[in-house]
Amino acid sequence: MSRFRLPRSLIAETGLLETPLGRRLSERLTVAEPRPSIQPADYPGFGPDDLLLTRHRGEFVKPCPGTRGYICCGLQIIHFGLGCTLDCTYCILQGYLDTRALVLFGNLEAKLDRVGDMLDQTDSPHRYCTGEFTDSLLLEGLTGLGARLVRLFAGFPGKLLELKTKTDHIESLCGLDHGGRTVVSFSVNAPAVAAREESGAATLARRLAAASRLAESGYRLGFHFDPLIRHPGWEPGYRETVARIFEAVPAERIAWISLGAFRYLPRLKAVVARRHPRTRIMDGEFVLAGDGKMRYVRPLRVEMYRVLVKAIRKASPDACVYLCMENGRVWREVFGFDPAPDGLIRMLDQRV
Nearest alpha carbon to residue 136 among 162, 110, 118? 162
Q: State the binding string over 195-224 for ligand SF4 (x if CB under 6 A, else -).
A: ------x-----------------------
Residue 88 interacts with ligand SF4 (CB under 6 A)? Answer: yes
Q: What whole-number distance in Å separates Cα of residue 103 and Cα of residue 13?
A: 11
Q: State the binding string over 128-157 for ligand SF4 (x if CB under 6 A, else -).
A: -------x----------------------
> CA torsion sign, 197 to 202 to 208 to 214?
negative
- β-strand 321-323 against 254-261: which pairing, if any? parallel
Q: State the binding string over 246-265 for ligand SF4 (x if CB under 6 A, else -).
A: --------------------
Kindly state the smallest distance separating residue 90's Cβ from ligand SF4, in Å.
7
Instruction: Name residue 80's amino acid.
Output: F
Kindly state the smallest distance separating residue 118's Cβ from ligand SF4, in Å.
25
In 10 A of CB 288, how many CB atoms? 10
- Cβ burial of 148 (10 Å; 0-12, 13-18, 19+) is middle
Of 82, 91, 190, 254, which one interacts with ligand SF4 (CB under 6 A)?
A: 91
Q: Output 156 or 186, the one with its CB closest to ligand SF4.
A: 186
Contact by Cβ (8 Å): 307, 238: yes
Q: Output 13 or 140, the one with its CB closest to ligand SF4.
A: 140
Q: State the binding string over 29-68 for ligand SF4 (x if CB under 6 A, else -).
A: ----------------------------------------
Residue 308 interacts with ligand SF4 (CB under 6 A)? Answer: no
Tell me which stretch binds ligand SF4 (CB under 6 A): 86-94, 102-110, 212-220, 232-240.
Answer: 86-94
Q: Output 86 or 304, the one with its CB closest to ligand SF4.
A: 86
Residue 84 interacts with ligand SF4 (CB under 6 A)? Answer: yes
Q: Coil, helix or strand for 347?
A: helix
Kindly state the smallest distance separating residue 214's Cβ from ligand SF4, in Å.
18
Q: Output 133 or 246, the one with its CB closest to ligand SF4.
A: 133
Q: Which helix (H) or strand (E) holds 255?
A: strand 254-261
Residue 86 interacts with ligand SF4 (CB under 6 A)? Answer: yes
Contact by Cβ (8 Å): 334, 305: yes
Instruction: Name residue 164's amino acid.
Output: K
Kindly state the smallest distance separating residue 35's Cβ from ligand SF4, in Å.
26
Residue 97 interacts with ligand SF4 (CB under 6 A)? Answer: no
Q: Output 22 or 83, the one with its CB closest to ligand SF4.
A: 83
In the sheet where 127-130 sits, what is the strand order?
61-63, 76-78, 127-130, 160-165, 182-188, 220-228, 254-261, 321-323
Residue 82 interacts with ligand SF4 (CB under 6 A)? Answer: no
Residue 166 interacts with ligand SF4 (CB under 6 A)? Answer: yes
Tell me which stretch binds ligand SF4 (CB under 6 A): 83-91, 99-107, 174-182, 273-281.
Answer: 83-91
Query: What distances in angstroms separate CA 8 from CA 30, 105, 118, 144, one per listed residue?
Result: 6, 17, 35, 17
Nearest alpha carbon to residue 106 among 62, 65, 151, 139? 139
Nearest alpha carbon to residue 91 among 275, 285, 330? 275
Q: Output 29 or 88, the one with its CB closest to ligand SF4.
A: 88
Q: Output 50 or 87, the one with its CB closest to ligand SF4.
A: 87
Binding residues (CB under 6 A) for ligand SF4: these are 84, 86-88, 91, 93, 135, 166, 201
